Copies of this chain bind each other. A is one copy, B any other.
Amino acid sequence: MRFLASAFLFAITVSPLATLAADPTMQITPPAPKISVEERHAELAKRRAAVASKMDDKSVLVLFSAEPKLYTNDVDYVFRQENNLYYLTGLKQEDATLVITKDGAKVTETIFVPKRVPLREAWEGRMYSNEDVTRISGITSIVDAAERDKYLEALKGKRDWASADGKISLMSNPASLYLLLPNTSENGRKDDIGLREYKQENEFNVGFDTAVKNARPIFDALRQIKSPYELKLLQHAIDITTEAQMRSMAIVGRAEWEYQVHAEVEYTFRRRNADFWGYPSIVGCGANATTLHYVESQSPIVKGQLLLMDVGAEYEHYTADVTRTYPVNGKFTKEQAEIYQIVYNAQEAVAKATKPGVTMQQLGVIARNTIAEGLQKIGLVTDYKPATKPEDEFVPRSREVSNWFIHGLGHWLGMNVHDVGAYGPPLKAGMVFTNEPGIYIREDAFAKIPDTAEGNAFKTKVKAAYEKYMNIGVRIEDDLLVTENGVVWMTGKLPRSIADIEAFMAKGPKEIPYSAKNAPTGGMLVAATH
């Protein structure tokens, strides 16, 4: 959907590819990355310093914790911290608030966190002590959360503020105040997604005569380039997901319902100590594979059909996003293989073109052209025009392809599955994106084509092929790290080519034995997570 027709860059040199050879044996998740306290403190301090360096002089940044989300009555969903607060502090507990102040060269960092309450701990588990907060975040200036609202009021009233014990005072008359806020369009409309996520900040943002600025551009720019530290966590989430995908391929031949395969995936996530998922798992057999976000898992597993699995473990807030589409019985039919190979070719073309300087839009054009070329050969596209000069690489050369490749090429990946970052600017080393072309021969595809001369002509021409491939849906999705020279396939250990998938599945149905080596916990987890 993010497909743009314009092309600005003409980088067609083939990039060196760092593709890992697929290993046909089961990939058990390696041990979780070991991260020392010192390493974590250094990383978090560096991030906070980077944020502070982008703040105006005489300014204050306030980051709230996420609010707990209601499941039903007095039960909440499992708490997940707001990403940017986590990015700067590592704190996973509710009701923590970070305040950074900047006054010339002087930067202060303060956490408001609730005091431990023994009765509450007997019910809900250990709460952070001040020592815990310091051990996790490296921040030493800590104030009882009960005092937070007084500070927030002082900010509004521009009144001096100090903690009750007089030990900590914080700037309360800044020239500007940074909050995470919904983005505002030119006509003043706030974006719905941001409004939902930053509701409490938006409600707090009333009655200031201080200049209030949206902190998100600062975080978005930083978070889009992943540090080696972040890449270790993301790679672990991807490794867990790789095992989950392979486990599902191993048992699918004996499964009767989609939810049974779904169970194997999420079993692996929990078994390998993922936070859990980064988004609800998509497990669709046959025609269900043609629905992009099919999450019900309520249909039978049918021999002879394809199963599409779009799943991602989340580990320490970083989410994988990996799709494989494979035959239930381990062998692609001719038609399935034809569609699959076209999608595969598009992925390859995208990876080959990926390097700093290229844009996501350009990569999207490459994917669409590659798919259009393949679909023209099998009669599902009639308007594809081959490239005649190098510049054509980034020029869309089929409109009809959008009837079958119904979404964009991919998105940034990180603490959100659709991670922060604009899609216009050129790629830089350290960015991670999903390379996920797809072809969906939806049964209702014809119903969506307008009843015009052009539309009807198209339908007439492709009708036979449409019926031949009907209800086949294929998406292949890999997570790619942009490097100085090209790209690393972070999902490289997971079989992807037709040959590799068939070879892996031919080894026969098998289960991972319970004794399979487990991934021990990393060094980041702490007693209290809420």
Contact surface of A with B, Cβ cutoff 8 Å? 69-75, 77-78, 80, 83, 118-119, 121-126, 193, 196-197, 251, 254, 256-257, 259-260, 262-264, 266-267, 270-271, 273, 278-280, 290-296, 298, 406-407, 415-418, 440, 442, 444, 447-448, 511, 514-515, 518, 520-521, 525, 527-530
Contacts and interface: CB of A to CB of B under 8 A. Distances in A.
A263 B270 contact: yes
Contact of A529 (B296, B520, B528): B296
12 contacts: A69-B71, A69-B77, A72-B80, A72-B197, A73-B418, A75-B279, A123-B291, A123-B407, A254-B515, A257-B518, A259-B273, A263-B270
B69 A69 contact: yes
Contacts of A280: 75, 78
Given A197-B70, A418-B74, A295 B125 contact: yes
Contact of A416 (B73, B124, B291, B294): B73
A264 to B, nearest CB: 8
Given A251-B514, A260-B271, A293 B71 contact: no
Contacts of A415: 72
A69 B70 contact: yes
Given A262-B270, A263-B270, A271-B259, A292 B122 contact: yes
A122 B257 contact: no
A83 B70 CA distance: 13
Nearest to A273: B259
A207 B511 CA distance: 61
Q: Tell me which of A83, A296, A520 has the highest count of chain B C-beta atoms within 10 A of its own C-beta.
A: A296
Nearest to A119: B448
Nearest to A67: B70
Given A266-B266, A298-B521, A514-B251, A447 B118 contact: yes
Given A263-B267, A263-B270, A298-B525, A122 B440 contact: yes
A256 B263 CA distance: 21
A184 to B, nearest CB: 17
B122 A442 contact: yes
A293 B118 contact: no
A119 B80 CA distance: 31
Contacts of A193: 73-74
Contact of A256 (B74, B251, B518): B518
A448 B254 CA distance: 54
A292 to B, nearest CB: 5
A295 B530 contact: yes
A291 to B, nearest CB: 5
Nearest to A530: B295
B406 A291 contact: no
A385 B511 CA distance: 57
Contacts of A197: 70, 72-73
Contacts of A440: 122
Contacts of A256: 518
Contacts of A74: 193, 416, 418
Contacts of A293: 123-125
A72 B416 contact: yes
